[in-house]
Amino acid sequence: MKISVFACVLLISAVVISVDGETPADKFKRQHINKGMDPKHCDAVIKERKIHQNNRAFCKKENTFISASYGVVKKVCEKEGEPYPNDRNLRISLNSFRVVNCKCKDNMRPPNCGCKGSRPNLRIVIACDNNDNPVHYQEGLYITSLNETKPLIPDGSVTCVFC
């Protein structure tokens, strides 16, 4: 009995902490929080923070940095966000955030990803864990009117895949 309980705890720990010892919340911070981010520095920051596709062979095609502190973004998981329509696991911010959206060239290999940045103001859509920590950036939405939003990409596709 003791061995099975220990095995269960070990398995749960392995799921929560990645191979590199990085929690999902820490990975979110590394990949998406940069208060002073400048669009001109996409390539350098992506290289410094080792942001790449999960297979590590290629650069991510796109990565979004939120120009705010982690504490401010965390509030979206609490009272400064609301459930996202049609997906109860996501939260959308009540207010817009300044973000830097880095788009990189296709089929590039780290460390030279050929990224260019833009700096829109968007309502952010994020996933949160059970402790109200942001763990995944889903997309950013432009505010088009008082209660209406529009996806960052015209076809409505997700702006961040496998973040």
Q: What's the confidence (pLDDT) of residue 143? A: 72
Task: Inform me whether the pLDDT recorded for 4 exceeds 50.
Answer: no
Residue 119 pLDDT class (50, 70, 90 cuts):
very high
What domains are there in the chain, each with its CATH number?
23-151 (3.10.130.10)
Residues 146-150 have a mean pLDDT of 54
Helix (H) or strand (E) holding 125: strand 121-128
Residue 138 pLDDT class (50, 70, 90 cuts):
very high
Q: What's the confidence (pLDDT) of residue 89? A: 85
> 64 or 144: which carries more pLDDT confidence?
64
Residues 99-120 have a mean pLDDT of 89
Residue 160 pLDDT class (50, 70, 90 cuts):
very low
The mean pLDDT of the chain is 80
Residue 158 pLDDT class (50, 70, 90 cuts):
very low
Structure tokens at 147: 């209660």
Residue partners of 137: CB distance under 8 A and separation at least 6: 28, 31, 32, 64, 66, 124, 125, 126, 160, 163
Q: From residue 56, how far is each of 41, 102, 123 by CA, in Å?
A: 21, 18, 29
Report CA Rg, the chain: 17
Q: What's the confidence (pLDDT) of residue 5? A: 39
Q: What's the confidence (pLDDT) of residue 26? A: 97
Q: Residue type at 102?
A: C
Q: What's the confidence (pLDDT) of residue 116? A: 92
The reply to whether the predicted model has a pTM over 0.85 is no
Task: Inform me whether the pLDDT recorded for 162 exceeds 60.
Answer: no
Residue 106 pLDDT class (50, 70, 90 cuts):
confident
Q: What's the confidence (pLDDT) of residue 57? A: 78
